[in-house]
């Protein structure tokens, strides 16, 4: 079973200077966790022609990622983000990504081959950030791919990971997200993101009802300390969260998505898939960095 993941990978720098230069990104984090758990994962993005891009690709290959479709931009380089973590483990970010290579990935010659291969994916995974960094034509192409994968009987997993500063307006972000929801078989939203995106104080039940009404088959809502909620037509389930020591909350949602999808793809019951996602998220937030070493 081949998993195709589309998104942006960036260089990661910790504001306290303690961790040095690493790499991360919401979809990359999920892709690497899936590969670590034995799945056949292809990551689709664009990097530069520089030595750091070379090193990033080599590191992903060592993690088991299929990097055939990591495209190389002749003049652009990877984006960068810096993390500051406070004493409670909560993080804040600064970004330098406006001219990243990933933003132009759909303009590169190798993308046609990537899209053709991805149409045969058992699972396609992307996020609202994946869509946010792309120009209009790139968004349309990624959504078109999702339509093709779902029409062919594959699974499409989507996380409405919302970053306000990546969008010209909340209205555009909201409309784009609903287009993705309509094509998703597995929805992995966060209650906080949905409230910000909709500009409403929505309950998890309202979020679940909206996603189902827009066509998503299974919706698993991440709700922090409240745990997770699963919605399917005629089904509502709540899964409590276990207490965890928070060292760094970076990458918690990405880890949950990976743990959940990994178990789901292996045919586990949904309750077990949620437990797998929660367990991986707990391990990640107990260490520093969005993608700690195993």
Any idea which residues carry the catalytic annotation? 254
**How far is 57 from 133, CA to CA, in rounded Å?**
20
**How far is 258 from 260, CA to CA, in rounded Å?**
5
**How far is 129 from 7, CA to CA, in rounded Å?**
7
Q: What are phi and psi of 91, to 5 degrees?
A: -120, 155
**How far is 62 from 53, CA to CA, in rounded Å?**
14
Query: Alpha helix (H) ranges present in the chain?
Result: 26-36, 51-62, 111-118, 128-132, 136-151, 170-183, 191-198, 204-213, 252-265, 270-285
Q: What are phi and psi of 239, to 5 degrees?
A: -125, 115
Residue 289's nearest CA partner among 254, 243, 261 is 254
**Cα dihedral 45, 51, 54, 55 sign:** negative
Helix (H, G, I), strand (E, B) or coil at 186: strand
């Amino acid at each position: 079973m081949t998993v195709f993941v589309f998104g942006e990978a960036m260089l990661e720098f910790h504001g306290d200077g303690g961790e040095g230069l690493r790499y991360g990104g919401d979809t990359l984090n999920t892709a690497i966790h899936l590969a670590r758990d034995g799945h056949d994962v292809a990551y689709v993005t664009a990097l530069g022609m520089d030595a750091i891009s070379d090193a990033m690709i080599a590191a992903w290959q060592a993690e088991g990622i299929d990097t055939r479709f990591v495209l190389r931009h002749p003049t652009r380089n990877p984006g960068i983000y810096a993390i500051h973590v406070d004493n409670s483990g909560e993080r804040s970010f600064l970004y330098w990504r406006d001219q990243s290579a990933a933003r132009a990935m759909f303009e590169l010659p190798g993308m046609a081959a990537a899209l053709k291969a991805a149409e045969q994916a058992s699972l396609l995974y992307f996020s609202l950030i994946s869509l946010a960094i792309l120009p209009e034509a790139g968004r349309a192409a990624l959504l078109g791919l999702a339509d093709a994968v779902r029409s062919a009987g594959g699974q499409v997993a989507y996380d409405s990971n919302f970053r306000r500063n990546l969008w010209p307006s909340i209205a555009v972000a909201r409309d784009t997200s609903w287009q993705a929801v309509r094509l998703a078989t597995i929805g992995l939203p966060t209650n906080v993101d949905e409230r910000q995106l909709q500009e409403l104080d929505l309950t998890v039940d309202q979020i679940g009802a909206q996603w189902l009404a827009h066509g998503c088959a299974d919706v698993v809502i991440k709700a922090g300390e409240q745990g997770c909620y699963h919605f399917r037509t005629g089904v509502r389930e709540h899964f409590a969260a276990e207490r965890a020591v928070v060292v760094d909350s970076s990458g918690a949602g990405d880890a949950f998505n990976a743990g959940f999808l990994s178990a789901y793809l292996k045919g586990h019951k949904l309750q077990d898939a949620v437990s797998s996602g929660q367990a991986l998220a707990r391990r990640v937030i107990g260490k520093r960095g969005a993608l700690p070493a195993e």
